[in-house]
Copies of this chain bind each other. A is one copy, B any other.
Amino acid sequence: MQKDAFDLQLFLPYLLNQAAEASSLGFARIYKERYGLLRTEWRVLFHLGLYGRMTARDIGAMASIHKTKISRAVQRLEARRYLKRARDDKDRRKEHLELTAKGREVYADLYNEARSYEARLLRNMAAEDVTTLRRLLTALGG
């Protein structure tokens, strides 16, 4: 039919999804079981933990997450006292989000988990391959 065979297992969007799902699973179990967090909540938490005070809009733009998802994640994180909101005085539409002490604790714990989890994931991969992988994924997904 065609000279180079097409295998679904090699189709890039499919392959990426499989790899993403498989490699997210273990970490998801941690933040889910330990803190009852959802995927978007973990992401918002990490954005605030890593980059400090920012608005919902900025997180959305940076992570390509829809604003409704962020809105709900922020609500739940606030309900657990992981973050607090502060309206911007200049532009009263904006809300600056910031982790509380409790939120920073959770973040610090998950941060360590993330690092060791990733180390386990990449345990058997050559350092050069890891670099290449990151570069290519960034090109595809940025």
Contact = CB atoms under 8 A, between A and B. Distances in A.
A79 interface: no
A57 to B, nearest CB: 17
B8 A13 contact: no
Contact of A22 (B15, B22, B114, B141): B141
Counting every copy of the chain, the complex holds 2
Given A16-B19, A114-B11, A132 B129 contact: yes
A38 interface: no
Contacts of A10: 134, 138
B140 A23 contact: yes
B16 A16 contact: yes
Interface string A74-114: 00000000000000000000000000000000000001001
